């Protein structure tokens, strides 16, 4: 298995080099600080790589974790955020909250109907509650979707 | 200072302000009591609610949340042996044994009382020390600001991370992120990739919401935390509260010592409430005549930890308000809130916005008293919220991060940045990078850059690098402090080995 610390440092070095060249054509007073920082990052990460080549215990990035739960949650957040643009804040939040409250609920296998109703109820309360506060009290318009 | 106090009192006891602050304290206590939800997170998701308020009211409310959340952590520490916030780690040592002995109420009263006393002392120290530090800060020129930023990064890299190298990489990464947007001196556009929204840079609060909340949500799902351990209802006995308070009042040195330790640990960037609690607990054991009883359920243990972690709140605001360096992660969020309100931390806060600043400072004293009253009468009711299942909490927090990061600038790009920062933060935590140095890098970036570029310009006009960078007296002090803090881990390591040989245990951690 490739060492995760080394992979990380290589990515950071690439980002730092990219940043160094990206500001290269700017005036000195705008470019000097990011360039110095980028050089420092490269040096530190080379040291980091060196340190991990010398001695390292190979460890998996995600040991002993509920991997499927983690991925579901992460994907859920990404899809939720993208969906806001399409179906609007209200509908997307309602779906996201009720779905995840249900998925994470421990009772959903024992008492599926009760768990389902509970989740929908709590999700609606939260969504409409916050929507009302932001839209009408704080006067912050929450995003409308393209479709709705 | 005195000229502002009358106005400050008037603001604080204005009915709506006072109610909002009390609401802040209550929400803080509830969030703090929930295991897995930290004070930083409470502040980050709740900032958007306060920035529609006027600056003084918003800051009072946030101060209340901060104070409440740090206190709230003790409730679950005492009742289920799980610190609600990392600050309450040391509270579990004696708090949980006390509740196992059926003395949960004793522990909760002791925690509320000592938190209140510690918090008030911390807030008073803040009011005393901040104006003194402002006098020093007024003498700062560009090179001093540059070295100040270096010192801040050196100290946090060494304190907050397990590996100095990782701490430094984190700090430098934060610095690089801070350069997104218009450059402070040259005014050129950097790393905006055509997004006009990025011209003003990455909004600090947006980054903080992502950084401190998303990894917690993923962590909750990952560990499948299930609160199987339900809180038992306990019956309060008459006379216990009075007995405990009289007992603690007879130990003024314990309370004052713990509070002073807490405040000074708070001032050091990177060392948060958990370090404050642990150091103070260790000292309480060291000074006690009955050392063996600690850990078996003594009120002194609870009081030492709680007085220190609440006093740390005031301490962590000293460097924040005077120099723009947060003393602890929750203070970093307050920095973001100040900036959103158009208030830049530093001497100006005291000289130009004195009315707002002193209202905020004095409100912390009042918030601690409110916290004591709420904790004293309400902790048995608040204890029931610990039973809220993760299945509701995790999606709710995700929802709040989205609504919060959007509402700051009414901007969906901020939401995407928040999520990206959050996932990056999660991976970095898995690689054992501490969020502290990265966040501090982002905060200190603009200070460091401005100081550095202006100093370089001074060099080209005076022709001497040494004169600008190294020989000015305050700079010299800051350089020495940076060197000392960078070599601190080696000194601490040597010290620990010596202590371990002597059979004592020392601890350190994160906030």
Task: Choose from A77, A111, A140 for mutation: most chain B CBs within 10 A.
Answer: A77
Q: How high is the pLDDT of residue B52?
A: 85
Q: How high is the pLDDT of residue A58?
A: 54
**Number of structural domains found in chain A:** 2
Between CA B452 and CA B185 the distance in angstroms is 10
Q: Which long-range contacts (CB under 8 A, 24 or more apart) does A117-123 make?
A: A122/A97, A122/B392, A123/A93, A123/A94, A123/A97, A123/A98, A123/B395
Q: How high is the pLDDT of residue B510?
A: 39
Q: What would the pLDDT profile of B273-301 be if each residue is shown by its tens digit?
A: 888 999 999 999 988 888 888 888 899 99
Chain B residues in contact with A45 (beta carbon < 8 A): 169
B234 pLDDT tier (thresholds 50, 70, 90): low
DSSP per residue over B347-390, as a string? HHHHHTSHHHHHHHHHHHHHHHHHHHHHHHHHHHHHGGGGG--H
| Contact (CB<8Å) B179/A81 | no
A126 min Cα distance to partner chain B (Å): 8
Between CA B33 and CA B76 the distance in angstroms is 6
A55 pLDDT tier (thresholds 50, 70, 90): low
B420: closest chain A residue by CA: A78
> Does residue B283 or residue B226 have the better pLDDT?
B283
Between CA B81 and CA B103 the distance in angstroms is 14
Residue A45 has which token pair?
């990460």
Is pLDDT above 50 for B509? no
Chain B residues in contact with A84 (beta carbon < 8 A): 402, 412, 415
Q: Are residues A94 and A124 in the same domain?
A: yes
Residue B391 has which token pair?
């299945």
Position B53 in a domain: yes
| Contact (CB<8Å) B223/A19 | no
Which residue from A10, A14, A8 is spatially nearest to A38, judged by alpha carbons? A14
Chain B residues in contact with A100 (beta carbon < 8 A): 391, 394-395, 398
Contacts with B107 (C-beta within 8 Å, 6 or more apart), sequence order: B78, B94, B95, B98, B99, B297, B299, B302
Position A32 in a domain: yes
Position B489 in a domain: yes
Q: Which of A32, A101, A105 lies closest to B456 in CB terms?
A: A32
Chain B residues in contact with A69 (beta carbon < 8 A): 221-222, 224
Position B386 in a domain: yes
Residue B503 has which token pair?
């059979």
Which residue from B154, B125, B32, B485 is spatially nearest to B321, judged by alpha carbons? B125
Is A53 an 8 Å CB contact of chain B? no
Q: How high is the pLDDT of residue A57?
A: 57
Q: Indicate the SS3 state at residue A142.
A: coil
Q: Are residues A72 and A25 in the same domain?
A: no
| Contact (CB<8Å) A30/B190 | yes
Q: How high is the pLDDT of residue B496?
A: 81
| Contact (CB<8Å) B391/A101 | yes
Angstrom distances, CA of residue B414 to CA of A1, B332, B409 = 36, 18, 8
Is pLDDT above 80 for B228? no
**CA dihedral of residues B439, B441, B445, B448 (deg, nearest 10):** 140
B395: closest chain A residue by CA: A97
Residue range(s) defining the domain that contains residue A41: 4-54
Q: Are residues A40 and A79 in the same domain?
A: no
Is A142 an 8 Å CB contact of chain B? yes
Chain B residues in contact with A105 (beta carbon < 8 A): 389, 391
| DSSP label of A134 | I
Position A60 in a domain: no
Q: Which of B222, B400, B448 lies closest to A66 in CB terms?
A: B222
Q: Which of B169, B176, B415 lies closest to A81 in CB terms?
A: B415
A47: closest chain B residue by CA: B165
Mean pLDDT across B15-20: 94
Q: Which of A33, A61, A143 lies closest to B406 in CB terms?
A: A143
Position A105 in a domain: yes
Q: What percent of chain B has pLDDT over 90?
A: 42
A119 min Cα distance to partner chain B (Å): 8
Is pLDDT above 90 for B26? yes
Give the least confident one: B22-26, B269-273, B320-324, B477-481: B269-273
> Which ranges constitute the DSSP H helices of B410-434?
412-430
B506 pLDDT tier (thresholds 50, 70, 90): very low
| Contact (CB<8Å) B399/A96 | yes
Position B510 in a domain: no
Q: Are residues A50 and A111 in the same domain?
A: no
Q: Which of B175, B412, B431 lies closest to A85 in CB terms?
A: B412
Task: Choose from A33, A50, A101 for mutation: most chain B CBs within 10 A.
Answer: A33
Q: Are residues A43 and A72 in the same domain?
A: no
Average pLDDT score, chain B: 87
Q: How high is the pLDDT of residue B181?
A: 92
Task: Choose from A3, A4, A17, A30 for mutation: most chain B CBs within 10 A.
Answer: A30
CA torsion sign for B258, B259, B262, B264 is negative
Position A131 in a domain: yes
Contacts with A35 (C-beta within 8 Å, 6 or more apart), sequence order: A20, A23, A24
Position A145 in a domain: no
B210 min Cα distance to partner chain A (Å): 12
Chain B residues in contact with A83 (beta carbon < 8 A): none
Between CA B45 and CA B57 the distance in angstroms is 17
Q: How high is the pLDDT of residue A40?
A: 95
Q: What would the pLDDT profile of A106-144 be if each residue is shown by its tens digit?
A: 878 888 888 889 999 999 999 999 999 888 888 888 888
Chain B residues in contact with A9 (beta carbon < 8 A): 169
Is A104 an 8 Å CB contact of chain B? yes
Chain B residues in contact with A22 (beta carbon < 8 A): 190-191
Q: What would the pLDDT profile of A5-54 be if each residue is shown by its tens digit?
A: 899 999 999 999 999 999 998 988 899 999 999 999 999 999 999 888 87
CA torsion sign for A19, A20, A23, A28 is positive
Q: What is the ipTM of this complex?
A: 0.91
Is pLDDT above 80 for B333? yes
| Contact (CB<8Å) A19/B399 | no
Position A61 in a domain: no
Q: How high is the pLDDT of residue B402?
A: 94
Q: What percent of chain B has pLDDT over 70?
A: 95
A93 min Cα distance to partner chain B (Å): 7
Chain B residues in contact with A66 (beta carbon < 8 A): 221-224
Position A49 in a domain: yes
Between CA B393 and CA B25 the distance in angstroms is 20
Number of residue pairs across A and B with CB atoms under 8 Å?
166
**Number of structural domains found in chain B:** 1
Position A143 in a domain: no
Q: Are residues A132 and A72 in the same domain?
A: yes
Chain A residues in contact with B169 (beta carbon < 8 A): 9, 12, 41, 44-45, 48
Chain B residues in contact with A106 (beta carbon < 8 A): 226, 389, 391
Mean pLDDT across B150-154: 86
> Which ranges constitute the DSSP H helices of B324-353?
329-340, 347-351
Residue range(s) defining the domain that contains residue B483: 2-501
Q: How high is the pLDDT of residue B507?
A: 45
Contacts with A93 (C-beta within 8 Å, 6 or more apart), sequence order: A80, A84, A123, A126, A127, A131, B399, B402, B403
Q: Indicate the SS3 state at residue A120.
A: helix
Rg (CA), chain A: 23
Q: Are residues A41 and A75 in the same domain?
A: no
Q: What would the pLDDT profile of B433-472 be if each residue is shown by its tens digit?
A: 888 888 889 999 998 999 999 998 888 888 888 888 888 8
Q: How high is the pLDDT of residue B511?
A: 40
Mean pLDDT across B377-383: 80
């Amino acid at each position: 298995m490739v060492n995760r610390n080394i992979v990380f440092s290589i990515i950071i070095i690439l980002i730092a080099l990219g940043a160094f060249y990206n500001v290269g054509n700017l005036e000195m007073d705008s470019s000097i600080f990011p360039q110095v920082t980028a050089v420092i990052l490269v040096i530190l990460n080379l040291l980091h790589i060196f340190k991990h080549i010398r001695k390292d215990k190979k460890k998996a990035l995600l040991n002993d974790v509920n991997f499927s739960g983690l991925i579901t949650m992460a994907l859920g957040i990404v899809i939720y955020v993208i969906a806001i643009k399409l179906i609007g804040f209200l509908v997307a939040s309602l779906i996201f909250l009720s779905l995840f409250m249900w998925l994470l609920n421990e009772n959903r296998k024992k008492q599926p109907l009760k768990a389902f109703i509970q989740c929908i109820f709590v999700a609606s309360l939260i969504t409409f509650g916050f929507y009302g506060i932001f839209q009408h009290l704080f006067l912050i318009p929450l995003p409308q979707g393209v479709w709705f | 200072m005195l000229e502002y106090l009358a106005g400050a009192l008037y603001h604080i006891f204005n009915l709506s302000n006072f109610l909002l602050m009390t609401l802040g304290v209550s929400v803080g206590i509830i969030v703090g009591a929930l295991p897995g939800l930290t004070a930083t997170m409470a502040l980050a998701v709740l900032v958007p609610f306060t920035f529609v308020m006027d600056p003084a009211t918003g800051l009072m409310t946030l101060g209340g949340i901060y104070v409440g959340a740090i206190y709230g952590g003790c409730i679950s520490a005492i009742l289920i042996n799980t610190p609600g916030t990392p600050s309450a780690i040391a509270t579990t040592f004696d708090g949980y044994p006390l509740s196992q002995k059926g003395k949960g109420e004793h522990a909760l009263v002791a925690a509320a009382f000592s938190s209140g006393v510690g918090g008030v002392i911390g807030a008073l120290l803040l009011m005393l020390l901040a104006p003194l530090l402002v006098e020093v800060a007024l003498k700062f020129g560009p090179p001093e600001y540059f070295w100040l930023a270096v010192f801040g990064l050196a100290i946090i890299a060494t304190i907050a991370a397990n590996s100095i190298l990782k701490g430094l990489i984190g700090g430098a990464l934060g610095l690089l992120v801070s350069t997104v947007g218009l450059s402070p001196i040259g005014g050129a556009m950097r790393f905006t990739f055509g997004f006009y929204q990025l011209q003003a840079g990455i909004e600090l609060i947006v980054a903080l919401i992502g950084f401190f909340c998303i990894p917690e949500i993923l962590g909750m799902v990952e560990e499948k935390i299930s609160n199987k351990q339900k809180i038992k209802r306990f019956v309060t006995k008459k006379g216990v509260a009075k007995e405990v308070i009289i007992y603690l009042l007879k130990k003024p040195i314990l309370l004052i010592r713990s509070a002073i330790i807490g405040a000074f640990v708070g001032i050091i960037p990177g060392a948060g409430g958990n370090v404050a609690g642990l150091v103070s607990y260790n000292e309480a054991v060291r000074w006690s005549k009955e050392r063996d009883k600690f850990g078996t359920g003594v009120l002194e243990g609870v009081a030492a930890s709680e007085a220190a972690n609440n006093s740390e709140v005031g301490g962590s605001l000293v460097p924040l308000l005077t120099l723009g360096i947060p003393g602890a992660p929750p203070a970093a969020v307050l920095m973001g809130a100040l900036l959103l309100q158009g208030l830049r931390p530093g001497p100006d806060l005291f000289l130009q916005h004195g009315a707002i600043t002193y209202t905020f400072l004095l409100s912390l004293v009042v918030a601690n008293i409110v916290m004591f009253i709420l904790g004293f009468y309400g902790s048995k009711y608040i204890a029931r919220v610990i039973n809220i299942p993760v299945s509701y909490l995790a999606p709710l927090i995700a929802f709040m991060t989205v609504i919060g990061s959007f509402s700051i600038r009414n901007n969906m790009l901020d939401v995407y940045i928040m999520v990206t920062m959050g996932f990056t933060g999660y991976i970095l935590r898995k690689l054992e990078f501490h969020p502290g140095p990265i966040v501090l890098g982002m905060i200190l970036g603009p200070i460091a850059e401005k100081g550095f570029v202006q100093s370089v310009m001074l060099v080209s006009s005076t022709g001497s690098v040494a004169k600008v960078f190294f020989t000015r007296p305050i700079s010299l002090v800051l350089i020495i402090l940076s060197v000392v803090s960078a070599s601190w881990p080696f000194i601490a390591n040597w010290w620990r080995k010596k202590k371990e040989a002597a059979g004592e245990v020392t601890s350190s951690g994160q906030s």
